[in-house]
Amino acid sequence: MRIDLHTHTSVSDGTDTPAGLVATAAAAGLDVVALTDHDTTAGWAAAAAARPAGLTIVPGMELSCRWFPADEPPVSVHLLAYLFDPLHPAFAAERVRLREERLSRGERIVTALAADGYPVAWDDVVARSEGGVVGRPHVARALVEAGVVDSVDHAFATLLHHRSPYHVSKADTDVLDGIRLVRAAGGVPVFAHGRATSRGRVVGDDAIAAMTDAGLLGLEVDHPDHTPDQRAYLRALATGLGLLQTGSSDYHGTNKRTPIAACTTDPDQYEALLAAGTGSAVLTD
């Protein structure tokens, strides 16, 4: 069994449509793919409708969160959530808040860029999100197509990184609240790419212990942004805390270079994850 538990589509910041994503997954020889768009379940129905025979889809999401250390600024953390009830009221309300936060923050970024003469327009950036959630990658693609930069990576490296004068942070969910919401909705919370220092500051073991106390059930160990040492570190931590271990590509289509199935999850870990999720069911033959 080949299992990839972290992918994005055009309803957040991937470039494959949900139907395209499941076709890509099947063509790559995957048996199981999880759909984990940022802060939205908008792709679930279209992916289900397009599911090729033989492919199992795990409904999921990647929730934008923050950890608040005692004496430092908050750290951005991403929380994967699987098999939760999409209609759970408090969790659904939090997703609405996050999407609105993304809209106001995206507009501030674009307004600041436009004020300095970059040829980007907010309407165009919103249109690129196709009714899903707006993120910096949509701004990046607009900058590429305007000829300002030659790639999405270049847009992030020059104008959209978190130390850029154009950066605007968003009020993401306190990760401990996020974990409790996912569990309340019957879902399985897994800490995404938790050691990937290439993405910015990472949290310490104290945070992972507190997250575990709040109900965290797994750590994403095998991820393209983790070095072998970082994977070994997380593997040991997961073993010590009794957490599940997952592996995933974090595929974003052509917005990133990583192919689907670049990292995969062990079937035993997948079975344990399925057993822990009670809010929604996998889509399967």
Q: ∠ CA 50-31-282 to the nearest 5 degrees?
A: 60
**Near Zn ion by CB under 5 A, which window of 54-62, 155-163, 195-203, 204-212?**
54-62
**Near Zn ion by CB under 5 A, which window of 19-27, 194-202, 243-251, 277-285?**
243-251
**C-beta of 153 vs 177, nearer to ligand AMP:** 153
Give the three-state DSSP class for 77: strand
Is residue 13 within the footprint of Fe ion (CB under 5 A)? yes
What is the DSSP secondary structure assignment for residue 172, as one 8-state letter? P
Q: Which of 44, 84, 91, 156 binds ligand AMP (CB under 6 A)?
A: 156
Q: Residue 208 is which amino acid? A: I
Pick from 198, 208, 271, 197: nearest CA to 235: 208
Q: Which of 136, 183, 195, 226 binds ligand AMP (CB under 6 A)?
A: 136
In angstroms, give the least distance from the CB of 110 to ligand AMP.
12
What CA–CA distance (Å, rounded) separates 11 from 16? 9
Q: Which of 130, 153, 174, 225 binds ligand AMP (CB under 6 A)?
A: 153
In angstroms, give the least distance from the CB of 54 to ligand AMP.
28
Q: Which of 6, 9, 10, 13 binds ligand AMP (CB under 6 A)?
A: 13
**Near ligand AMP by CB under 6 A, which window of 52-60, 131-139, 201-209, 258-266?**
131-139
What CA–CA distance (Å, rounded) separates 207 from 254? 33
Is residue 255 within the footprint of ligand AMP (CB under 6 A)? yes
Binding mask 250-269 for Zn ion (x = CB under 5 A): x-------------------
Give the C-alpha distances (Å, rounded to integers) separating 189 from 2, 121, 236. Answer: 21, 36, 19
List binders of ligand AMP among 78-117 (CB under 6 A). none
Is residue 101 within the footprint of Fe ion (CB under 5 A)? no
Q: Are 44 and 35 in contact (CB under 8 A)?
A: yes
What CA–CA distance (Å, rounded) separates 256 from 266? 24
Q: Residue 240 is which amino acid? A: G
What is the DSSP secondary structure assignment for residue 197, as one 8-state letter? G
Radius of gyration (Cα) for the chain, nearest Å? 18
* Residues forming beta bridges with residue 66, ordered by sequence position: 76, 174
Is residue 220 within the footprint of Zn ion (CB under 5 A)? no
Contact residues: ligand AMP, CB under 6 A: 13, 38, 135-137, 152-153, 156, 252, 255-256
Contact residues: Zn ion, CB under 5 A: 62, 250
